């Protein structure tokens, strides 16, 4: 049964290290982490904010507060998933503190505002640098990718003792807003409200020039960005682009969507390649997060996914190319919204989180990579925990070895006073036990096939043509209707079958 064990981590509060680079409340954090450890969790996940570490100026890194935090985590006996958080904290769902990207980087935007993502009205989004500047040496002579690369190299140098001790086991590379590989298409700071379709946000001069060059090279210099894609809070039918027989189906619309989503693939691939070089030889896994944009999934246009950069339609898989790209870096695909059920969503959003999760996880498994996940919203109830457990082992446990389909890990969002409240925490501890397939906490990762080998150099680059072969639309793998290890004592399919067998033989 240990081969059915899925480790569980808990995300720390966003401001555990403050914007001023101070690890506050150490005593209280020690109590909380000790309680979590006693509850059986395997480790924690924490944002390591670029805006905190390199705040004082180019290459002036200060890791001292995070070192204090990591020493505490190591002392308690937990593992660390570290997020290279190159995005702003503030402006997204659940953000309760404000940590912008470094001021000296934002200062470049005073004279060149096109370093930031821009919508068609010219409004700038300062959550994350536009991927249009990935190769522009605008930051004291460095490109955006060089900024990220140097940061990760400094992290390795300054955290080498934690890496060598096997305390830091996972490096999640931030690739966009909220750390996710996507465009900031639905920013609350600009007035987005669920379930708005969001906006294409590629109107900075660097991405516009890139598109014009791509269109000219394709023999279509007349192609332009969509003019009929609506605004943040529209529905698909409000627009010409996403409506029935909309522009997204035309040759020009398809060219734009391919370019828009391919830019994201290339961005992720190039930064993960830098991460691979930075952590080469370390016993860690690399990971990247993909956003669970479940609203309008049941609309033929998948509008909210398209504006975020996931070119996902019926018959065209927008997620498996990401998994294929990750495969060359031995990367884990980390997906969100594991706790959500279709029936919990408002009918007008045409939302289908369950189908979305099945599609994305199946695509990862088809590409032979590890998949991990998170809940999107804080939940403390059995319904949410059971849905997570179902997604973690979609066809249940296998008493004779590892299940055919099983997630690599799960990160619970997030540590809070509400989670540690007695009733909530009692149920959470049961959830942890079920994640571990009813086994006790196991400190030996080898026993559940999670022992880490030194990170190898990324495999040869996969051409965009080969990445796009993974867009073929295939049905997801089979999923049980309920988990076989529920937290509330109800029995799922396999549990019910086992009970029947027992009753036959042990009357």
Among 383, 405, 384, 411, which residue's Cα sits nearest to residue 393? 405
Residues 144-153, buried b or exposed e (16+ Cβ, 10 A)? bbbbbbbbbb
Among 270, 367, 370, 374, the active-site one is 374
Give me 454's structure tokens. Answer: 């030194």
**Distance (Å, whole) CA 329 – CA 271:** 10
**82 three-class SS:** strand
Say whether the peptide bond before residue 414 is cis (omega within 30 degrees of 0): yes
What is d(CA 296, CA 234) in angstroms, rounded to the nearest whole number?
Answer: 11
- In angstroms, rounded to a whole number, what is the distance separating the alpha carbons of residues 422 and 147? 44
Query: Environment class of residue 418 by beta-carbon count within 10 Å: exposed (0-12), middle (13-18) or buried (19+)?
Result: exposed
Using the Cα atoms of residue 430, residue 435, residue 438 and residue 439 in order, give the sign of their dihedral: negative
Q: Decide: 102 and 49 in contact? Cβ < 8 Å.
A: no
Say how many C-beta atoms besides its own lie within 10 A of residue 172's C-beta: 25
Dist CA 261 CA 496 (whole Å):
44
φ, ψ of residue 192 in degrees (nearest 5): -65, 140
Please give the C-alpha separations between residue 310 and each of 57, 176, 206, 476, in angstroms, as whole numbers: 35, 13, 21, 17
Which DSSP state fits 476? P
Both tokens of 76, joined, read 């308690």
Does residue 456 have an active-site annotation?
no
| Residue 125: strand pairing partners | 117
| Coil, strand or helix at 300 | coil
- Which member of 127, 172, 180, 199 is catalytic? 180
101 vs 86: CA distance, rounded Å: 7
The SS3 assignment for 45 reads: strand
Torsion of CA 346, 350, 351, 354, to 10 degrees: 120
Based on the residue annotation, tell me whether 180 is a catalytic residue of this protein. Answer: yes
- Contacts with 75 (C-beta within 8 Å, 6 or more apart), sequence order: none
The two beta strands, 79-85 and 8-11, are unpaired
Nearest to residue 102, comparing CAs of 85, 118, 119?
85
Which positions ≥6 away from 343 have C-beta within 8 Å? none
With contact defined as beta carbons under 8 Å apart, do 173 and 275 qualify?
Answer: yes
CA dist 351 and 384 (Å) reads 17
Per DSSP, the three-state class of 298 is coil
Residues with catalytic roles: 180, 374
């Amino acid at each position: 049964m240990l081969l059915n064990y899925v480790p569980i981590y808990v995300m720390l509060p966003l401001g555990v290290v403050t914007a001023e680079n101070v690890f506050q409340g150490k005593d209280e954090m020690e109590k909380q982490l000790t309680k979590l450890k006693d509850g059986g969790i395997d480790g924690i996940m924490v944002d390591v904010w670029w805006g905190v570490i390199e705040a004082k100026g180019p290459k002036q890194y200060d890791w001292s507060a995070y070192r204090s935090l990591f020493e505490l985590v190591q002392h308690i006996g937990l593992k660390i998933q570290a997020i290279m958080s190159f995005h702003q904290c503030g402006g997204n769902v659940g953000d309760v503190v404000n940590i912008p990207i470094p001021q000296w980087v934002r200062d470049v935007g005073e004279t060149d505002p096109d370093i930031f993502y821009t919508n068609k009205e010219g409004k700038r989004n300062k959550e994350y640098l536009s991927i249009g500047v990935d190769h522009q040496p605008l930051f004291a002579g460095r490109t955006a990718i060089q900024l990220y690369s140097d940061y990760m190299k400094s992290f390795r140098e300054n955290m080498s003792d934690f890496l060598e001790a096997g305390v830091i086991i996972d490096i999640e590379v931030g690739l966009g807003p909220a750390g996710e590989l996507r465009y900031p298409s639905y920013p609350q700071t600009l007035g987005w409200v669920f379930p708005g379709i969001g906006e294409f946000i590629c109107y900075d001069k660097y991405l516009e020039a890139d598109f014009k060059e791509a269109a000219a090279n394709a023999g279509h210099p007349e192609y332009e960005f969509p003019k009929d894609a609506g605004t943040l809070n529209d529905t698909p039918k409000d627009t010409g682009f996403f409506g029935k027989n909309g522009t997204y189906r035309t040759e020009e619309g398809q060219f734009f969507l391919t370019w828009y989503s391919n830019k994201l693939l290339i961005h992720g691939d190039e930064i993960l390649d830098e991460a691979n070089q930075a952590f080469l030889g370390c016993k860690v896994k690399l990971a990247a997060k993909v956003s669970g944009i479940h609203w309008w999934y049941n609309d033929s246009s998948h509008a909210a996914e398209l504006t975020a950069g996931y070119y996902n339609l019926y018959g065209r898989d927008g997620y498996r190319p990401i998994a294929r790209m990750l495969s060359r870096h031995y990367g884990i695909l980390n997906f969100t919204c594991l706790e959500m059920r279709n029936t919990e969503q408002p009918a007008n959003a045409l939302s289908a989180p369950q189908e979305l999760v099945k599609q994305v996880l199946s695509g990862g498994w088809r590409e032979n990579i590890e998949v991990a996940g998170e809940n999107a919203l804080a939940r403390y109830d059995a319904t949410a925990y059971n849905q997570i457990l179902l997604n973690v082992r979609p066809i249940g446990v296998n008493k004779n070895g590892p299940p055919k389909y099983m997630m690599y890990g799960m990160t619970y969002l997030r540590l809070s006073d509400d989670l540690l409240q007695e009733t909530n925490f009692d149920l959470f501890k049961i959830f942890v036990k079920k994640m571990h397939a009813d086994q006790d906490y196991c400190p030996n990762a080898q026993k559940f096939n999670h022992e880490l080998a030194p990170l190898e150099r990324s495999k040869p680059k996969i051409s965009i043509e080969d990445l796009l072969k993974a867009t073929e639309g295939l049905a997801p793998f089979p999923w049980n209707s309920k988990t076989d290890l529920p937290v509330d004592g109800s029995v799922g399919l396999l549990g019910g079958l086992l009970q029947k067998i027992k009753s036959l033989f042990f009357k």
